[in-house]
Amino acid sequence: MLSTSKAKFIISGNILFLLLLILYLIRNPSYTIIGLCFASLVIIAFYLSYININHVFGILIFTIPLSINIEIFNSGTNLFLPSEFLLGLMVMAFFFYHLLFKEDQKKFLRHNISILIILYFIFYIINILFSTMMIVSLKAVFVRFCYITVFYFFINVYIKKRITNIVNIYLLYGIPLTFVVLFTLFKHSDYLFSKDTASAVVNPFYADHTIYSACIAFIIPAFLAFFLFAKEIELGLYKKISVFIISLVLLTGLFYSYSRGAWISLVGAVVFLFILLLKIRLKYVLLALLGGILILYINKDSLIENFSGNKFDSNAKNATLIEQTKSITNISNDLSNAERLNRWKCAIRMFNDKPLTGFGPGTYQFQYLPYQVKSEMTRISVTSPWNIEFGKGGTAHSEYFLLLSETGIFQFLIYIILIFSGIYFGVQNYYKAVSKKLKVISAMVLLGFVTYAIHGLFNNFLDTDKAAFLFWSSLSIIVSLDTYFIPLEKNE
């Protein structure tokens, strides 16, 4: 077996070699040099598996909120750097690690959620075969594969049967995100926190205010839990004060993001918290939800008439918080709502044309354009997938409609089952946990996941590492709690 010191020496030498190659590549783009860079990465990944790759994974988590979207050599291909560079490294290191050490993950892999995720990915591969744009779909599925491999499967290895590592995951993501929020608030203050500039000021770290706010909403439950239950989670006074300040910064950032979807998702998480505390059984919640959907469907005509009469516009200058909240049901003159409806209707028309296979992963932004109806289009509607103006981008503006249009009914149903399974097992973890510490951790992970399940109705972000990390890692933590931590606690 290779010694750790020798492995570190080889890694250091290859990192230096890689940096020299990158410096050369900046001035002289060459496929040969790119090949050498890849070979050097493989060597680094291989020898990382001999030492503690958890350190590299910790760095990856920390860099995700701080990464910047950069185009590579004017090729039209963009990468979030340095996080996606480290992600590629971790994918290779993960497989080498398992080949060398044969990490036992049988319980984890046999869990219902793990089986659903494997099935979810298999259907993605099948969808490639029926894609209308195979190269686009291959790229989209490869990125998804990297996210699931590292953010779902490797998280279980990272936790290493230590409950404190779950706390560390949120701290490693939340602390750099707090710096991004402070940076954004500082920039936003130059514009007197104007709503019109809320989307632009999150650059260069986030594409727009919606994904920025979704990530903030996702981790707020964790930091509030760290503050309120610092003793149970074993955080000292200094850390308790720190997480309190971070919570205030995150809440301020969420408020000034002016993202109604994020606000709704956090309110939804609060409602779900009361469901947990009151011990209302999930089947009654589900029945109430289905009943509500049925009532809405029966009264859809009168609802549409009422919504059409709503004139509160979220885009109006100096619109108050109450006016922005009321604008959620404005489908007549609220620009963002009208465009969202346009995208949703296009997704439904695409689904009607290809209900079983969809148009292929990653293809919506290219294929929905001819499905637009002129009377439903707005001044921010897109007519070409190329050179899209700032503020007019995005795809289906819903994880659910996006899946229907791109991958068809089967993948959509798997995703719905996955969402409900995550919530179900999250709730079970909370009720089964004996110690206060495990109850708090189970609740905060679940509530963060609930925020994205709700926000996914209005936006889709699982094609970016910033949101994908939170989504897949929270599912992984839910499974880890169910398969190891909670059974261990009961056996003690």
Question: For each of the chain's 492 residues, which pLDDT tens digit applies?
Answer: 556 677 767 777 777 777 677 667 656 766 777 677 777 777 777 766 666 677 778 878 888 898 887 766 555 566 777 777 778 878 877 777 766 656 667 888 899 999 999 999 999 999 999 999 999 999 999 999 999 999 999 898 888 778 889 999 999 999 999 999 999 999 999 988 888 888 889 988 898 899 999 999 999 999 999 999 988 888 888 889 999 999 999 999 999 998 888 999 999 999 999 989 888 887 777 787 778 777 766 765 565 555 555 555 555 555 555 555 555 555 556 677 888 888 999 999 999 999 999 999 999 999 999 999 888 888 878 777 776 666 566 788 899 999 999 999 999 999 999 999 999 999 999 999 999 999 999 999 999 999 999 999 989 999 899 999 999 999 999 999 999 998 887 666
Q: Which of 297, 416, 404 lies closest to 361, judged by CA?
A: 404
Cβ neighbours of residue 136 closer than 8 Å, sequence gap 6 or more: 360, 361, 362, 363, 366
Q: Which of 397, 396, 412 lies closest to 455, judged by CA?
A: 397
Work out the burial of residue 247: count CB atoms within 10 Å of its CB; fewer than 13 is exposed, 13-18 middle, 19 or more buried.
buried
pLDDT at residue 53, rounded to an integer: 73
- What are the angstrom distances between the C-alpha of 458 and each of 46, 274, 297, 450, 452? 41, 23, 19, 14, 10
Cα 409 from Cα 128, distance rounded (Å): 15
Long-range contacts, 150-154 (Cβ 8 Å, 24+): 150/57, 150/60, 150/87, 150/90, 150/91, 150/94, 151/468, 151/469, 151/471, 151/472, 151/473, 151/476, 152/117, 152/472, 152/473, 152/475, 152/476, 153/94, 153/105, 153/108, 153/476, 154/57, 154/90, 154/94
Residue with tokens 């920039």: 187
Q: Which two tokens stand for residue 396?
A: 């289906």
Rounded to 5 degrees, φ, ψ at 452 are: -75, -35
pLDDT at residue 301, rounded to an integer: 59
Domain ranges of the chain: 4-103, 108-278+334-492
Contact indicator for 67, 205 with CB cutoff of 8 Å: yes
Per DSSP, what are the bridge partners of residue 70? 79
Helix (H) / strand (E) containing 427: helix 399-432
Amino acid found at 296: L
Cα 25 from Cα 37, distance rounded (Å): 9
Cβ neighbours of residue 318 closer than 8 Å, sequence gap 6 or more: none
Cα 422 from Cα 204, distance rounded (Å): 32
Cβ neighbours of residue 103 closer than 8 Å, sequence gap 6 or more: 97, 157
Question: How many helices and strands in the chain, by DSSP H and E?
Answer: 21, 2
- What are the angstrom distances between the C-alpha of 67 and each of 144, 188, 253, 446? 18, 20, 18, 26
Work out the burial of residue 297: count CB atoms within 10 Å of its CB; fewer than 13 is exposed, 13-18 middle, 19 or more buried.
exposed
Helical segments of 49-163, H only: 54-63, 83-101, 106-110, 112-129, 134-147, 155-159
Q: What is residue 95's DSSP assignment?
A: H
